[in-house]
Amino acid sequence: MKRIRLESRYAIDRAVVTVGSFDGTHIGHHAVVEEVRTKALDRDGASVVVTFDPHPRHVISPETAPSLLTSLEEKTTAFERMGLDLLAVVPFTHELRGLTPEAFVERFLVDYLGVDGIVLGYDHGFGRDRSGDVATMRKLGDRHDFDVISIPPTLLDGEPVSSTRVRECIEAGQIEAAARLLGSGYPVSGLVGTGDGRGRTIGFPTANIAFAEAKLLPPDGVYAGRTRVNGEVYKAVVNLGTRPTFGVRERQFEAHLLDYRGNLYDQFMSVELMTRLRPEQKFDGIESLKEQINLDIEEARGRLDATGIPTDAN
């Protein structure tokens, strides 16, 4: 897959496109992208996602914008694993916000991509104040000779899957429920930085991931997840919080990779959270902390082996 900034004409044949913010890249988004890929293969064309960076809400109303479920890098990884051909990123600005639905489609989809077909979710809105909908797109398709396909909602437990549902699960610490909506674990990504080395001194070295400030994180606690290092998948126990046993105040995301030996400093790393093990707690001393970490590791192995939820680390 190739990723570009879509700011001018891009040479591509028979592009089948979908458009959206895709925060969370959940199973509803997967269904839309799979339809894009199918239609592109049918016409020997290219499958394309057009998305925005920064997220539109962070430009329109930054003071009330929600934290992000997925960074651009996390989206890129997700779409690449879906088998997409092209991820076209449109810089979201106030000028872009003011474009009518017609102006947006004609500039970015018709002029820049030469669109041949468009796939949209059932509730998709686009253009100024999201005033364009599927009916608007069909009229534009008639005018510019591209077809439009609308995808019905993906249901889970009888309700449409949405980024709002994913967000509610993450905020409540319901990681397994979020993973069902996402179709994989919840990713937390960033560069591995140098910590204070306490984990290594007690026998449990950790990778301290510098997560993005705008990233939505679950409540503090201990989680089990998976990650990939140099092509190999490793289980991980993650502590998210302030490490009260050591009197640390700064919130940190620390992953202990099971059965891994090596140096992860300065590497970009993504850990997919799969399940919550327990709340963060303060221990009386190092020995009781070490005993609990060993119990966490044992429980993490069992839960990760038992989960039927796939992971992008696989």
- Asked whether the predicted pLDDT for residue 201 surpasses 80, the reply is no
155 and 190 part of one domain: no
Q: What is the CATH number of the domain that holds 90?
A: 3.40.50.620
- Asked whether the predicted pLDDT for residue 245 surpasses 80, the reply is no
- Asked whether the predicted pLDDT for residue 198 surpasses 80, the reply is no
- Asked whether the predicted pLDDT for residue 311 surpasses 60, the reply is no
70 and 140 part of one domain: yes
Q: How far apart are CA 78 and CA 68, in angstroms?
A: 15
141 and 203 part of one domain: no
pLDDT computed for residue 314 by the predictor: 43
Q: Is 119 helix (H, G, I), strand (E, B) or coil?
A: strand
Q: Would residue 313 count as lying in a domain?
A: no
149 and 199 part of one domain: no
Q: What is the CATH number of the domain that holds 250?
A: 2.40.30.30
- Asked whether the predicted pLDDT for residue 308 surpasses 70, the reply is no
- Asked whether the predicted pLDDT for residue 190 surpasses 90, the reply is yes
Query: Please, which contacts does 132-138 make with residues 24 or more away whose CB atoms are closer than 8 Å?
Result: 132/100, 132/101, 132/102, 132/104, 132/105, 136/101, 136/102, 137/101, 137/105
- Asked whether the predicted pLDDT for residue 95 surpasses 80, the reply is yes
Q: Would residue 180 count as lying in a domain?
A: no
Computed over every residue of the chain, the mean pLDDT equals 93
Q: How confident is the model at residue 312 (pLDDT cuts 50, 70, 90)?
A: low
Q: Would residue 26 count as lying in a domain?
A: yes
Residues 101-130, mean pLDDT to the nearest whole number: 96
> Is 312 within 8 Å of 185 (Cβ atoms)?
yes
- Asked whether the predicted pLDDT for residue 206 surpasses 90, the reply is yes
40 and 119 part of one domain: yes
Q: Would residue 278 count as lying in a domain?
A: yes
213 and 272 part of one domain: yes
Q: Would residue 25 count as lying in a domain?
A: yes
205 and 302 part of one domain: yes
Residues 160-182, mean pLDDT to the nearest whole number: 97
246 and 285 part of one domain: yes
Looking at 159, 194, 229, the residue that finishes a domain is 159
Residues 233-249, mean pLDDT to the nearest whole number: 86
Q: Would residue 37 count as lying in a domain?
A: yes
Pairing of strands 252-257, 207-211: antiparallel
135 and 16 part of one domain: yes
**pTM (two decimals):** 0.92
198 and 270 part of one domain: yes
Q: How far apart are CA 180 and CA 33, in angstroms?
A: 18
Looking at 159, 175, 204, the residue that finishes a domain is 159
134 and 43 part of one domain: yes
- Domain residues for the domain of 16 are 12-159
State the total domains in the chain: 2
141 and 211 part of one domain: no
Q: Would residue 166 count as lying in a domain?
A: no
Cis peptide before 54 (omega within 30 of 0): yes
pLDDT digits (tens, 9 = 90+) for 44-59: 999 999 999 999 999 9
Q: Would residue 246 count as lying in a domain?
A: yes
Looking at 123, 143, 159, the residue that finishes a domain is 159
Of 101, 122, 149, 119, the C-alpha closest to 50 is 119
pLDDT computed for residue 12 by the predictor: 96
